[in-house]
Structure 1
Amino acid sequence: MSEYSPVDITPPELQPSALAHHVPDWAEAARTPADVTDWPQRQNAALVKFQLDDRGWPLHPHGRTGRTGRNLGKWGENAAADPIVVAGTGKHRQVLLITRDDIGVEAIPGGMVDPGETAPAALVRELREETGVDLADHRPIILGRDLVDDWRNSDHAWVASTAALYEVPAEIDAVAGDDAVAVAWWPFGTLAQLDAAITAAGRTLYAAHRPLLQRALDHLDTAVPDQTR
Structure 2
Amino acid sequence: MTSETETVPDALRSWSVSWAEYAPVDVTPPELRPDSLAREVPDWAEGAALPTDVADWQQRQDSALVPYALDERGWPLHPHGRTGRTGRNLGRWAENSAADPIVAAGRGQHRRVLLITRGDIGVEAIPGGMLDPGETVLAALVRECREETGIDLAGHQPVILSREIVDDWRNSDHAWVASASALYQLPEQVTALAADDAIDANWWPFTSLTRLDAAITAAGRTLYAAHRPLLRRALSYLDQH
Report the TM-score, using the length of structure 2 for normalisation. 0.91
User: How far is 1:215 from its partner?
Assistant: 0.4
Quote the Cα distance in structure 2 between the aligned partners of 1:130 and 1:89. 24
Quote the Cα distance in structure 1 between the aligned partners of 2:24 and 2:222. 27
Matching residue within 90, 101, 112 for 2:108: 90
Task: Tell whether 2:133 aligns with 1:115.
Answer: yes
Task: Tell whether 2:79 aligns with 1:61.
Answer: yes
After TM superposition, the runs of 4+ consecutive aligned structure 1 residues lying more than 2 A away are none
1:128 is paired with a residue of what secondary structure? helix
Matching residue within 60, 64, 76 for 2:94: 76
Quote the Cα distance in structure 2 between the aligned partners of 1:130 and 1:172. 14
Quote the Cα distance in structure 2 between the aligned partners of 1:103 and 1:2. 35
Alignment-mate amino acid for residue 221 of structure 1: D
Q: Equivalent pairs: percent with the same residue? A: 72
Task: Tell whether 2:117 aligns with 1:99.
Answer: yes
Alignment-mate amino acid for residue 228 of structure 2: R
**1:1-229 pair list within 5 angstroms:** 3-223=21-241
User: How far is 1:7 from its partner?
Assistant: 1.1
What is the RMSD computed on CA atoms of the aligned residues? 0.9
Quote the Cα distance in structure 2 between the aligned partners of 1:93 and 1:100. 22
Alignment-mate amino acid for residue 207 of structure 2: G
Alignment-mate amino acid for residue 169 of structure 1: P
2:117 is paired with a residue of what secondary structure? strand
Quote the Cα distance in structure 2 between the aligned partners of 1:180 and 1:111. 11
Quote the Cα distance in structure 1 between the aligned partners of 2:20 and 2:111. 49
Quote the Cα distance in structure 2 between the aligned partners of 1:104 and 1:5. 31
Task: Give unmatched runs, 5+ long, in structure 1.
Answer: 224-229
User: How far is 1:211 from its partner?
Assistant: 0.2
1:20 is paired with a residue of what secondary structure? helix
User: How far is 1:2 from its partner?
Assistant: 7.6
1:214 is paired with a residue of what secondary structure? helix
Q: Kindly tell me the number of residue pairs found equivalent between the two proteins.
A: 223
2:229 is paired with a residue of what secondary structure? helix
